[in-house]
Structure 1
Amino acid sequence: MRNVLITGAGGFIGKNLKAALETYKDIRVYSYDVENSMGEMDEYIENIDFVFHLAGINRPDDVKGFETGNCGFTEKLLGMLYLKGKKVPVLLSSSIQAEKDNPYGISKKKAEDFVFEYGEKSGSKVLVYRLPNVFGKFCRPNYNSVVATWCYNIARGIPVQINDPDTLLNLVYIDDVIEEFVNALNGAENRSIGGYCTIRRVFTVTLGQLADQIYLFKETEGTIKIPSFEKDFDRFLYATYTSYIPKEDMAYALDMKCDNRGWLAEFMKSKQTGQIFISRTKPGITRGNHWHHTKVEKFLVIEGEAVVRLRGINDTEVIEYKVSGDKLKVIDIPVGYTHSISNTGDKDLITVFWANEIFNPDVPDTYFMEV
């Protein structure tokens, strides 16, 4: 069992790291945050094998808070480790602001210096990460993260201000940060020049691009439209955006087309991957009896019993597949084959359909022909 201490466990990165580490059966997490006392810290240190030092202040009520909350607290923590003879690795979550001459940056640089000095004096392994802007779930909006703020505000219809849409922003995704921190815990950190450690993947976008993408997510919210996730950044940003959707907007009804056969409803659709729809078909009813020039489909019965029939439009041979929800089987529907699905059971048939393109009523590419 490895015992790790997380300072700043209640913060953005701390919450994500704690949630990740608690999935490991051989890791015990000691959490420290503002509500804890130095006495508790003293007890924790007795047991720990690794320190994730994430605690810090970036928006104090007084500028002196930078000194006490960043370098001051770091010095106290390291002093306690040294006095107890705890030769354990220390990972510091620093900031690219440490390169700048401002109160926050100066305090972070001092904290870095304390950690490097502790490593030399104690012989302990130290890992200092100068993180750029980190985005992902659990980040506090309207504080110091443009991604969190814009996701939160746009999800609620609150306008966002962009002073210069061409401003470049370097971003790292929280899951990449956590993966790197776990690697560091296991002795496989990513070292760079100057003794610092880095996150392997950094995304660069303009503020204008960032805002446009989040607004696109807002447009698809509450609909069956799915944005493109071809790029990892868009996938990660969408995951982040969904974590800020108001609870009252998380559920929405589908448009069910009902008739004497049962009903059919579109579930989701995307320009890149087509669409998925689902149907309920009453016993004895047949759907389909049509073919397509370009549209490719897949049928999957998930409840009930059915027969799927296909015939090439220039052939006479009919191909039959008996399917049921008891043994899932996907049926590919090639182009140029007229096809149908008949409910042969004594209860309603539930079928999931996929098409490689979104239905266009102006160009339906659907032609009636009995199988």
Structure 2
Amino acid sequence: MQVLITGANGFIGRNLALRLREAGHDVLGATRATSDADLADMVKQAEAVVHLAGANRPDTEAEFEEINDHYTAQLCALLRDRSAAIPVIAASTIQVDRDTPYGRTKANAETHLQALASDSGAPVNICRLVNVFGKWCRPDYNSVVATFCHNIARDLPITISAPDAEVRLVHVDDVITGWLAWLASPGSGAQITAIAPEYRITLQELADRLREYRAIRETHTVGETGTGLGRALYATYISYLPVDDFAYPVTRHGDERGVFAEMLRTEHSGQFSFFTAGPGVTRGGHYHHAKTEKFLVLKGRARFRFYNMDSGETHALDTYGAESIVVETVPGWSHDITNIGEDELICMLWANELFDRDRPDTIAHRLTS
């Protein structure tokens, strides 16, 4: 379908436009530079509208009325002139009950949208948003997350006037996912909606988390980044990295056997490394009581040998890069790995726990041929 986005060059609008195009829709983008005639033409073409245009930190209070109130009334009038009603999503705010220029004008906008639904029968989703965060949001404007991410990524200072103040957050991807689902089945009439999941965090906790993300490059240790708020915040922080910081080095340890480098440590699920070995070189020759490892040969040919420290049982297996076979070490079995090829061996390694020099759980035991 053809979807008209007002406020198309804003933070949410740009994210929405990308997701709509991914889904095969066409986007009509209206901005402050769009003329009244062009807006009217876009409304005639549109098969759905997402109304994002709004002012929350304008230069003058008059802009609140002009953009939040009058522009919404103008858009609703154009939609009434259509021969058929189309679904409309409008970004509103939880602040509509506040007696502020922003709250009052957003409440007026909701009134125009509810009247549109009543007069035309159009399904209208009035989505009352809390603080939206994510990639492409402008720092030092209306998102504390954007400001903190931008500054911390650049080692710039941030100001926290009320560390214990709690902010309510929704991630832009969750906002858009909810809207796309609604457009697929919009129902009827005016609907007041919210976005889930919603997260709550204090300003101090937010700053601390973002500083932890910055420190990953020094500590090589990553915390919760795979689900929920951790996933969304980490993705947002990374999106504010300057292009010169898209890459960073890791420490390489080399000797006559080859190179070893630790890539990433996790707080609760071990660490990732890689190593190399020249032809004929053997690495390892030890066993563990509780530690386990997974090896994946990326390049070359390797022979893994195992010896059971209790029964004396032995085992050996060969693997090479093109196979993509994971070889696991088992507690109580001594093991080593030998490059049996003619080229350099490159192997990826995951250990289930972080290496602790005081308790390494790595006991030397050379395997005999």
Per the normalisation by structure 1, the TM-score is 0.95
1:367 aligns with 2:366: no
Q: Is the 8 Å Cα contact of residues 304 and 347 (structure 1) preserved in structure 2?
A: yes
Matches within 5 A, 1:58-207: 58-187=56-185, 195-207=191-203
> What is the rounded CA distance, in whole Å, between the counterparts of 1:36 and 1:258 in structure 2?
61
- Measured in 1, the distance between the counterparts of 2:261 and 2:120 equals 66
Superposition pairs of residues 5-44 of structure 1, within 5 angstroms: 5-25=4-24, 27-44=25-42
Give 2:311's aligned residue: 315
Equivalent residues of 1:171, 1:204 under 8 A apart? yes
Q: In structure 1, give the amino acid aligned to 2:8.
A: A
Secondary structure of the 1:84 match is: coil
Is contact 2:117-2:124 (8 Å) kept? yes
SS at structure 2 position matched to 1:109: helix
Q: Distance in 1 between matches of 2:35 and 2:182?
A: 27
Would you say 1:245 and 2:241 are equivalent positions?
yes
Aligned to 1:344: 340
Question: For 1:339 and 1:77, how far apart are their aligned partners in 2?
Answer: 71
Q: Report how far residue 223 of structure 1 moved.
A: 4.9
Residue of structure 1 equivalent to 2:270: 274
SS at match of 2:260: strand
What SS class does the counterpart of residue 268 from structure 1 fall into?
Answer: strand
Distance 2:139 2:45 in 1: 35
Structure 2: how far apart are the matches of 1:198 and 1:187?
Answer: 16
Partner of 1:3: 2
Task: Output the TM-score relative to the length of structure 2.
Answer: 0.95
Change (3 A) 1:122 1:8: same
Give the aligned partner of residue 222 of structure 2: 226
- Mean CA deviation greater in 230-239 or 268-277: 230-239
Displacement of 1:84 in angstroms is: 3.0
SS of residue paired to 1:150: helix
Matches within 5 A, 1:282-321: 282-321=278-317
Residue deviations 1:6-65 (CA, integer Å, cap 9, x gap): 11111111111111111112x211111123222222222222111000111111111100
**1:273 CA drift (Å):** 1.4
Q: Distance in 2 between matches of 1:230 and 1:13?
A: 23
Question: How many residue pairs were aligned?
Answer: 367
Q: Is the 8 A contact 1:222 1:249 kept in 2?
A: no
Change (3 A) 1:97 1:356: same
User: Following TM superposition, by how much is the alpha carbon of 1:231 offset from its aligned partner in structure 2, in angstroms?
Assistant: 5.3
Listed as ranges, the gaps of 5+ residues in structure 1 are none
Q: Within 2, Cα distance between the matches of 1:181 and 1:101? A: 28
8 Å CA contact retained: 2:291, 2:353: yes
Q: What is the SS of the residue equivalent to 1:97?
A: helix
On the 8 A contact 1:222/1:251 being kept in 2, the answer is no
Residue matched to 1:355: 351
Q: Distance in 2 between matches of 1:39 and 1:349?
A: 66
How far apart in 2 are the matches of 1:20 and 1:222? 34
Q: Which runs of 5+ in 2 are unaligned?
A: none
Aligned mates of 1:286, 1:315 — CA distance in 2: 24
Alpha-carbon spacing, 1:315–1:300, altered in 2? closer, same or farther (3 Å): same
- What is the rounded CA distance, in whole Å, between the counterparts of 2:346 and 2:143 in structure 1? 45
CA contact (8 A) 2:69 2:105 kept: yes
**1:139-164 Cα distance to aligned partner (Å, 9 max, x none):** 11000111111111122222222222
Shift of 1:249: 2.2
CA distance in 2, matches of 1:38, 1:309: 76
What amino acid maps onto 2:111 in structure 1? Answer: D
How far apart, CA to CA, are the structure 2 residues paired with 1:177 and 1:230?
Answer: 19
Structure 2 counterpart SS, 1:46: helix
Deviation at 1:230, TM superposition (A): 6.4
Farther-moved stretch of structure 1 (321-330 vs 33-42): 33-42
**Worse overlay, 260-269 or 240-249:** 240-249
Q: CA deviation at 1:246?
A: 2.1
Identity percentage over the alignment? 38
Deviations 1:310-334 (A, max 9, x none): 1211122221121111111001111
The secondary structure found in structure 1 opposite 2:208 is helix
